[in-house]
Structure 1
Amino acid sequence: MLTTSSDQPAKLHYGPNSFRVLRGGRFVTCAVTGEPIPLDTLRYWSVEHQEAYATCEIATRRLTGQA
């Protein structure tokens, strides 16, 4: 079975105001919950930890050490 880049998570470099796609894909995986986050809805990430979060609540919990 052939897989396409859209079947695999994208690899991103997270910057302070945007991210850069290093490997194509339609989604990234939330670092806390493991759920897929479509790139067009990705709003929360950590530049320091280079990881994505599904919601602002999850990001806050993770970054304050509560996750």
Structure 2
Amino acid sequence: MMNRMDSGGEAKLRYLDGDFEIVRPGAFVRCVVTGESIAIDALRYWSVDRQEPYVDAAAALKRELECHPELTRGR
């Protein structure tokens, strides 16, 4: 089994439902919203459809609303 942190650089992942597959080993990925590094072992939020990682739930929601502005109508 491959260690999720085989390399100290940025990893490339394929995001799946409830898990992810390591395409290129590394220690972290970057949040698409904030640009912050996310340690692979701390990664909890991502989009399967957009194949993007997020640092936290707030970043994931922000990105969802950016991609689907119709969700904010009527506020």
Letter in 2 for 1:46: S
Residue 40 of structure 1 aligns to a residue whose secondary structure is helix
Extract unaligned runs of 5+ from structure 2: 1-5, 68-75
Extract unaligned runs of 5+ from structure 1: none
Residue 66 of structure 2 aligns to a residue whose secondary structure is coil
Residue in 1 that maps onto 2:54: 53
Query: How many aligned positions are there?
Result: 62
Letter in 2 for 1:5: S
TM-score (norm 1): 0.86
Question: What whole-Å deviation, never above 9, does each CA across 1:42-67 have from its counterpart, x for those lacking one?
Answer: 0000001101000101101101218x
Q: CA RMSD, aligned part only?
A: 1.5
Letter in 2 for 1:31: V
TM-score (norm 2): 0.77
Structure 1 residue ranges, 4+ long, deviating more than 6 angstroms after superposition: none
Residue in 2 that maps onto 1:26: 27
Letter in 1 for 2:22: V
Q: Which has the larger radius of gyration?
A: 2
